[in-house]
Structure 1
Amino acid sequence: MARHSFIRMSKLPNVKGRISYITSHAKQENLYATYRTADNTFWKNLARESQQEFQRSGTNGKCIEARELIIALPEIYTTFDPQQVLEEFTDKFRQQYGVECVSALHHNKRKTNYHIHLIFSERKLLPEPDIKIATRSVFYDETGKRVRTKKEITDENGQIRKGCTVIKKGDVYESHLFKTKDERFKSEAFIAEAKEVYTELINSHISDPEQRLKVFDKNSVYLPTKKIGKNNPKAAEIEADNTARQEWNRTADLALVSGIEKTKILEIKQTEIHDKAGQSIRENGWLPNLFRSIVGKAKEFLQAIIREKDMPPKPVLDMDMDEFRTMQTLMLKVQKQAKAIKKIQEITLPNLRQQLAETTGIFKGKERKALEKQIQQTESELKEKLDKLPDILKDDGYPDVQAFMKTYRKAEAIITQYNQDLAEWEQTVKNGQKPAEKQHRPPERQSVRNRLRQLQEESKQSSQSKQRKKSQGRDR
C-alpha cells in the first residue's frame, strides 16, 4: 500500500520561545538547517500585538500568536542539500499564502523521522502603521480594560492603583502594525490544501514511483494509520491501533479483489466502524481497546461477506484488446492470490488451531510446540500474502487495489457495451436489414482501445491530476 504524506498543524501561544527552540543547535541534537523570511523584530512585534489584542478582547484561554506545520520528509531527502530543501519548502509556503515564516530541518534522536518545522504568521504587515493619538487622557485598569475616568483606577488615597495605566493627551495609546488574522488558517480546508501542495512538491523530487507519497483519501475504503512521535508515552497503544487499522486495510483489498463493490465496503466501514466508534465515544469516552475491538469485528464482518462471494475469473475476450487482456491477467493474478489467502484463512489455520486444541496431555508438549510454531509461520505467511496483494499491481502503475478495481470495472463495462453493439450490428446484417445510419459499420475497436488506455492513465495518475487541477485553480 502506498505511503501517505504526514503534515500536522499546531497553535503557538509563545512564538518567540518556539522559534528559539527549533532553531537552536544547543537544544536540537540533529539540526541541519534554519531559514527566516523575517527578522526577530517582526516576530517580537507580532507577539506583542497579538497579546494586546487578546487582552482587549477579554477572551478566556491562551492567545495564539502564530501557527506551526510539521512536514515529514521521505528518507531519500537526507541525500539532498538540507538548506536548499528547507528554503524551497519555506518559500513555497510564503509564495502560496503571502505570510512570513521561520523554519528548521531536523532529524529525531533515533534519526528515523526527517522533518521540517515551519512556523508562520497568521497576519500580514499593514502598508502603513495605524497609530492612534490620545485627544484626551486615556485610562486602563489592571486587566487592561479601558475605563472612562481616572477615579475608576485610583485607590482611597487618590493614588493610581498598581497595574493601572494612564495615557496622557497627545501620547500614543494604541498602535497596529499588522492586519487582522487570516481566518482561512483555522479551517480544515487549509490543512487539506497544504497537504496537497507539499505532497506534490515532495514527489516532484522523487523519480521512483514506488517511493512517492499520496494524500490520504478520507472517502477511500481504507483507515488511516497514526504517526508515532518522539518519546510518545502512548507509542505501544498507537502501534496496536495501527496494527488493527492495517488488518482492516488488507481485508478491504481482499474484498475489492473478490468482486465486492467499493460502495458496500464503504457502507460497512461507516456503519461498523465510524458509527459504532462514535457511539462508544459518546457513551464511554475514548477507549483504545474498545476501538480496536470495533475495527476487529468490522474486519470479521467483511471477511464473512468475502466468504459468501463467488468470484470465478471472467473468461478472456477473444478480441484484439491488448490493454484489456493485460488488465485481465492482473485480475487473474490478484484473484489467485486472494484464493490462496482464503484457503489459509478458512481451511489451513482453522485446521491447525483445531489440532492444537485437541492436542492435550502432559506428554503432548513437543507436538503442541510444533503446532504453535506452524500456526505462527502460517499467520506470518498470511500477513505476507495480504501485504503483497497490492504489490502485484504496482509494477503496472496502479497505486493500490481500489484504484485498479475502479479502472477494471469501467473497462469491463466498455467491453460489454462494445460486444452488445457488435452483436446487434451482426444480427442486423444477418437478417438482411439495412443497419441504422449510425451502424453502417461495426463498432471500431480502435476507439475502444483508446478509451481503455485513457482509463488506465486516469487511474495511475489520479493524484497528480488532482493536484494539477487545484494548482491551476489557484493560479487563476
Structure 2
Amino acid sequence: MARHSFIQMSKLSNVKGRISYITSKARQENLYATYRTADNTFWGNLARECQQEFKRSGTPGRCIEARELIIALPEVYTTYEPQQVLEDFTEEFHRRYDVECVSALHHNKKKTNYHIHLIFSERKLLPKPDVKIATRSVFYDETGQRVRTKKEITGEDGQMRKGCTVIKKGEVYESHLFTTKDERFKSEAFIAEAKEVYTALINFHISDPEQRLKVFDKNSVYLPTKKIGKNNPKEEEIKADNAARQEWNQAADMALITGISEETILEIKQTQIHEKVSQSIRNSGWLPNLFRSIVSRAKDFLQNLIREQSMPPKPTLDIDMAEFRHMRNLMIKLQDKAKEIKHLQDKVLPELKQQLAETKGIFKGKERKALEAQIQQTEREIADKLDKIPDTLKADGYPDVQVFMATYRKAEAVVEQYNRELAEWERKVKENSKPDEKERYAPPERKSVRDQLRRLQAESRQIKPKHRTHDRER
C-alpha cells in the first residue's frame, strides 16, 4: 500500500505555553527552524480575550485559545533547507485561511519523525477595538456572569458578595480586540481540506513517485494504521492494532486480485468490522483485545471467500494497444503472485500443519521441530509476498491495489467497447461488399481509445504537471 500522509489537529488551552515549548531550543533537542506571522503581544492578547469570553459564556470544560496542526514530513525533506520548508508550509496556511500562525520544525529524539508544529488562531484582529460603554450600571456575579440587578449580587447582610463586580454608568464594561471564532476550524471538512492541501504541498517537492504520499480514503477497502507518538504509553497496544489492520489490508489486496468486487469487500468491512466495533464500544467501551479479535475474524471471513473464489483467467488482448497491453501485463503479474500465495495458504501450509498434528511420540521431537520450522518459514514467506504485492504497481505510479484494479476494469471496459464497435463495423462492411458501399461506414478510431486509456492512467496515478515534478534544491 502507498504511504499515507499524517496531519493531526489538537486544541490548545494554553497557547502561550505551547508556543514557548515548541520554539524553545532549551526544551527541544532537535529544533531546526521557527517562524511566526504575529508577535508575542498578539498571542498574549488573544489568550486573555479567549479566557474572558469563556468565563462570560459559563461553558463547562476548558477554554480553547488556539489550535495546532502536526504535519509529518517524509525523510527526503531533511535534505531541504529547514527554514524555507517551514516558511512555505506556514505561509500556505496564512494565505489560505488569513489567520496568524506560529510554527516550528522538529525531529523526535530518535530522529525517526520529521514534523512541523503549526499553531494558528481561530480569531482575527479587528480593524479597531470594539469598546462597549455602560449606559447604566452593569453587575457581574462571582462566576463572571452578567446579572440584571444589584440585588442578585447582594448578600443577606446587604453587602455585595465577595468576587462580584459593578461597572458604573459611563465606564467600559467590555472590549474586544478580536473577532469571534471562525466556526469552520471546528468542522471535519476543515481537517479533511488541510490534509489534502498539505499532502499536495508535500508531494509538490518530491519527484520520486514511490516517496509521494496520499490522503487515506476512509471509504476504501483498507483500514488505516495509527502513528505512534513520542513516549506513548500505549505503544505496544498500537503496534498490535496496526499488525491486525495490516493483515486485513493484505487480505483485501488478495481479494481484489482474485476477482472479489470492491462492493463485497466494503460490505464485509462495514458489517464485520465497523458495525461490530461500534456495538462493542456501546456495550463495553473501548477494549483493544476485542477490537483486534473483531478485525481478525473479519480477515478470516474474507480469506474464506478468497479460498472459494477461483482465480479469474489471465486477461487476453485482441487489439494492439500499448497502454492497455502494459496494464494487462501488470494484471498478469499480480495474478501470478496471488496464485503463489494461494498455493502456500491453501495447500502447502495446511499440509505441513496436518503433518505436524500427525507427528506424535517422544521419539519424534526432531521431526516436529523441523516441521515447526517449515511452518514458520512458510508463514514468513506468505507475509513477505503479501507485503510486496503493492510494490509491483508502485513503479508505474499506482498508489495501491484498489486504485489499480478500479483503473484496469475501466480500461478493460473501454477496450471491450472498442472491440464491439469494430466487430459491428466489420459486419456492416461485409454485408455491403461493394467498394463505394464500404466507404459509408467509418471504422472506430484507435486514437480515441488510446486517449481514454491515458486519461484513466493519469487520473489513477495522480500525475502532476511536468513543471512541478522537481525536488527542491538545498
What TM-score, normalized by structure 2, do the two folds share? 0.93
Q: 1:428 to 1:146 in 2, by over 3 A?
A: closer
Please report how far the alpha carbon of residue 154 of structure 1 lies from its aligned counterpart in structure 2 after TM superposition: 4.3
Counterpart-to-counterpart distance in 2, 1:153 and 1:332: 82
Instruction: Please list, as runs of the form range in 1=range in 2, the aligned pairs for 1:211-290 lying within 5 A after superposition.
Output: 211-290=211-290
Match of 1:344 in 2: 344
Match of 1:84 in 2: 84
Per-residue CA deviation, residues 49-77 of structure 1 (Å, 9 max, x unaligned), is: 11111111111111111111111111111
Counterpart-to-counterpart distance in 1, 2:109 and 2:123: 33
Please report how far the alpha carbon of residue 42 of structure 1 lies from its aligned counterpart in structure 2 after TM superposition: 1.0
The answer to whether the aligner puts 1:39 opposite 2:39 as a matched pair is yes
Q: 1:436 to 1:175 in 2, by over 3 A?
A: farther
Match of 1:459 in 2: 460
Counterpart-to-counterpart distance in 2, 1:460 and 1:205: 17
Please report how far the alpha carbon of residue 444 of structure 1 lies from its aligned counterpart in structure 2 after TM superposition: 2.2
Identity within the alignment, % = 76
Please give the secondary structure, in 1, of the residue aligned with 2:62.
coil
The answer to whether the aligner puts 1:298 opposite 2:298 as a matched pair is yes
Please report how far the alpha carbon of residue 259 of structure 1 lies from its aligned counterpart in structure 2 after TM superposition: 1.5
CA contact (8 A) 2:258 2:312 kept: no
Counterpart-to-counterpart distance in 2, 1:145 and 1:456: 62
Match of 1:473 in 2: none
Please give the secondary structure, in 1, of the residue aligned with 2:195.
helix
Please report how far the alpha carbon of residue 451 of structure 1 lies from its aligned counterpart in structure 2 after TM superposition: 1.9
Please report how far the alpha carbon of residue 438 of structure 1 lies from its aligned counterpart in structure 2 after TM superposition: 11
The farther-off stretch of 18-27 and 192-201 is 18-27
Match of 2:113 in 1: 113
Counterpart-to-counterpart distance in 1, 2:137 and 2:457: 74
Please report how far the alpha carbon of residue 138 of structure 1 lies from its aligned counterpart in structure 2 after TM superposition: 2.6
Please report how far the alpha carbon of residue 425 of structure 1 lies from its aligned counterpart in structure 2 after TM superposition: 2.2
- 1:130 alignment partner AA: D
Please report how far the alpha carbon of residue 18 of structure 1 lies from its aligned counterpart in structure 2 after TM superposition: 1.3
Please report how far the alpha carbon of residue 436 of structure 1 lies from its aligned counterpart in structure 2 after TM superposition: 10
- 2:137 alignment partner AA: S
- 1:184 alignment partner AA: R
CA contact (8 A) 2:33 2:82 kept: yes
Please give the secondary structure, in 1, of the residue aligned with 2:142.
coil
Per-residue CA deviation, residues 348-398 of structure 1 (Å, 9 max, x unaligned), is: 111111122222222222222222222111111111111111111122221
Match of 1:448 in 2: 449
The answer to whether the aligner puts 1:412 opposite 2:412 as a matched pair is yes
Counterpart-to-counterpart distance in 2, 1:416 and 1:366: 57
- 2:377 alignment partner AA: Q
The farther-off stretch of 138-147 and 383-392 is 138-147
- 2:282 alignment partner AA: R
- 2:453 alignment partner AA: L
Please report how far the alpha carbon of residue 230 of structure 1 lies from its aligned counterpart in structure 2 after TM superposition: 0.9
Please report how far the alpha carbon of residue 428 of structure 1 lies from its aligned counterpart in structure 2 after TM superposition: 2.5
Match of 1:320 in 2: 320
Counterpart-to-counterpart distance in 1, 2:218 and 2:437: 47
Counterpart-to-counterpart distance in 1, 2:170 and 2:384: 78
Tell me the C-alpha RMSD between the 2 structures. 2.1
Match of 2:402 in 1: 402
Please report how far the alpha carbon of residue 34 of structure 1 lies from its aligned counterpart in structure 2 after TM superposition: 1.5
CA contact (8 A) 1:425 1:439 kept: no
Counterpart-to-counterpart distance in 1, 2:147 and 2:284: 48
Please report how far the alpha carbon of residue 437 of structure 1 lies from its aligned counterpart in structure 2 after TM superposition: 10
Per-residue CA deviation, residues 198-235 of structure 1 (Å, 9 max, x unaligned), is: 00111111111100110001111111001111111111
Per-residue CA deviation, residues 8-65 of structure 1 (Å, 9 max, x unaligned), is: 1111111111112212222222222211111111111111111111111111111111
Per-residue CA deviation, residues 131-154 of structure 1 (Å, 9 max, x unaligned), is: 012233333221112234445434
Match of 2:199 in 1: 199
Instruction: Please list, as runs of the form range in 1=range in 2, the aligned pairs for 1:135-150 lying within 5 A after superposition.
Output: 135-150=135-150
Counterpart-to-counterpart distance in 1, 2:71 and 2:268: 32
Counterpart-to-counterpart distance in 1, 2:127 and 2:184: 21
The farther-off stretch of 409-418 and 188-197 is 409-418
Instruction: Please list, as runs of the form range in 1=range in 2, the aligned pairs for 1:160-175 lying within 5 A after superposition.
Output: 160-175=160-175
CA contact (8 A) 2:56 2:145 kept: yes
Counterpart-to-counterpart distance in 2, 1:111 and 1:325: 44
The farther-off stretch of 448-457 and 293-302 is 448-457
The farther-off stretch of 450-459 and 4-13 is 450-459
Please give the secondary structure, in 2, of the residue aligned with 1:129.
strand
Counterpart-to-counterpart distance in 1, 2:437 and 2:276: 56
Counterpart-to-counterpart distance in 1, 2:404 and 2:382: 22
Please report how far the alpha carbon of residue 185 of structure 1 lies from its aligned counterpart in structure 2 after TM superposition: 0.3
- 2:164 alignment partner AA: C
Counterpart-to-counterpart distance in 1, 2:278 and 2:73: 32
Match of 1:474 in 2: none
Please give the secondary structure, in 2, of the residue aligned with 1:227.
coil
Q: 1:151 to 1:421 in 2, by over 3 A?
A: closer
Match of 1:66 in 2: 66
The farther-off stretch of 143-152 and 299-308 is 143-152
Counterpart-to-counterpart distance in 2, 1:220 and 1:152: 58
The farther-off stretch of 374-383 and 421-430 is 421-430
CA contact (8 A) 2:67 2:121 kept: yes
Per-residue CA deviation, residues 270-307 of structure 1 (Å, 9 max, x unaligned), is: 11111121122222221111111111111111112112
Please report how far the alpha carbon of residue 433 of structure 1 lies from its aligned counterpart in structure 2 after TM superposition: 7.2
- 1:106 alignment partner AA: H
Please report how far the alpha carbon of residue 250 of structure 1 lies from its aligned counterpart in structure 2 after TM superposition: 0.8
CA contact (8 A) 1:5 1:195 kept: yes
Counterpart-to-counterpart distance in 2, 1:315 and 1:37: 57
CA contact (8 A) 2:432 2:438 kept: no
Aligned length: 465
Counterpart-to-counterpart distance in 2, 1:135 and 1:460: 65
